[in-house]
Homo-oligomer: A and B are copies of this chain.
Amino acid sequence: MARERQTLSRRSLLGGAAGAVTLTGLAAGTASAATRSADVAIVGGGLAGLTAARDLVAGGASVVVLEARDRVGGRVVNLKLANGGVTEGGGEFIGPTQNRIKALADSLGVATFTTYNTGNNLLYKDGKKTPYATDGLLGSVPPIDVAGLANAAAVQAELDGMAKQVPVDAPWTAAKAEEWDRQTFETWLRANAVIPSAKFLLDVACTSIFSAEPRELSLLYVLFYIAAAGDESHPGTLERLTDTAGGAQESRFVGGSQQVPIKLAATLGDRVVLNAPVRSIAKSGSQYVVTADGLTVNARRVVVAVPPPLAARITYDPLLPAARDQLGQRLPMGSIGKAIAIYDTPFWRADGLNGQVVSDSGTVRSTFDNSPPDASYGALMGFIEADQMRALDGASADQVRAAVLKDYATYFGDKAKSPTSFLLQRWDNEGFSRGGPVAYAPPGVLTQYGAALRAPVEGIHWAGTETSTYWTGYMDGAVRSGERVAKEVLPTL
């Protein structure tokens, strides 16, 4: 499936010949190399772009959403199973304080259900498996040495405390912004998570959250991300990022998370155009000419709702200001894949396991039970993160499958070796993502370039989860950014 999608996308990369194809069943046909006009051209049909479109239309504006892929949703995608079920290749979870994605889903009639979380977690460390109980809202206590637990708890409290000093709308104004932005998260962890088992827990947390290693991240960026894991009434905490119950992995969407962008796009009808990767944005008098493969849109304003490193690949005329361009050179995507193995039953549940692993080795070091609410079949979902993903980016799908199933068997026994089907979503290899889940900031970027993240460039406005003040990197952040950018653009029309 994933492969099929990619082939289609590649075909559209070839450009002119193919022509833009509109959303089947929703959109009126659009002729090849056609021209349309709208108040606002929106680049990217993920949650950010679609939410912006919804609010702009509600405000009386006309819009065209140009989506590069042959589907909406961006980093949110459903994968159909041979057994008729659905699982998710991208963002899938929703948790407390993620109010804007919740409100959007509610408005579209997409319900949520609780992530399977009954039974024990599993720690795999130094070649040994240890089940351990999870502890609801207060987080779980992994079976590591007492000194390590104490150290990890102290580090967590320290990070939360520092994060409280970081304004989510302007992290670069924190009193210690310079100090925190001049070092890697790894440097700070080595000075603070001094017990090896504590360092291990923080490392796993880091790669699980960012799909990047601690050495790649600015400490200030990590603190901002923690601060952003909340809302106006609830300061962000590290635990809200890492937890299942009470945290960002608490719930899932009935029918799969892509139901949200799919249903949202349906309300927009032929305003959404697929297979239309945008190549250039040129100002012409008071108008912008937005050129996609097969379709040109003339618009008074442009909303760019794709990740910064991809936005940087569009040709702008006039050129973007240096600060914005250099920002686009400095926010790389993390490296991530998702592997979902399907079984006749969620057999690990009978062993008292909730399907959630934390591991110090292997290709997959973090897993979830992705089975449907009725448990009519079993699904083990594993993240392949950062160094582990990069090591396999060039490998064949079969090689990745073998590496993943070896890990699943280590964690859950030999039954895991024989799934009825196996799905793999490799975001690094997707031309219109080239990594995931989010573009992160290395040291020195937020303090020098952070202000360029949301600053409009004349009539060009910026959306996408990276521009959100709360829940950046999550579906909620994407929705928030779409709502914010619509509020920004409407008064200028």
Contacts and interface: CB of A to CB of B under 8 A. Distances in A.
A393 B325 CA distance: 11
A443 B216 contact: yes
B431 A319 contact: yes
A315 B279 CA distance: 9
Interface in A131-176: none
B319 A326 contact: no
Interface stretch (A10-18, A59-67, A263-271): A10-18
Given A10-B318, A181-B215, A183-B186, A333 B323 contact: no
A434 B10 contact: no
A394 B323 contact: yes
A390 B317 contact: no
Interface in A398-429: 426, 428-429
Nearest to A188: B187
Contacts of A330: 332, 442
Contacts of A58: none
A329 B312 CA distance: 10
Interface in A109-151: none
Residues of A contacting B: mostly: mixed
Contact of A282 (B14, B184, B187, B313): B14
Interface string A179-198: 00111101100000000000
Interface residues of A, number: 52
A10 B394 CA distance: 37
Nearest to A312: B313
A13 B182 contact: no
B443 A184 contact: yes
A400 to B, nearest CB: 12
Contacts of A298: none
15 contacts: A10-B317, A10-B318, A13-B315, A13-B317, A183-B183, A184-B444, A312-B312, A321-B393, A321-B394, A322-B426, A323-B394, A329-B332, A329-B434, A390-B448, A443-B443
Interface of A: 10, 13-15, 181-184, 186-187, 212-216, 279-280, 282, 309, 312-313, 315, 317-319, 321-323, 325-326, 329-333, 335, 387, 390, 393-394, 426, 428-429, 431, 434-435, 442-445, 448-449
Given A329-B434, A442-B443, 17 more contacts: A10-B317, A10-B319, A13-B315, A13-B317, A13-B319, A182-B187, A187-B187, A212-B444, A309-B312, A312-B313, A321-B394, A322-B394, A326-B333, A326-B390, A326-B428, A330-B332, A390-B449
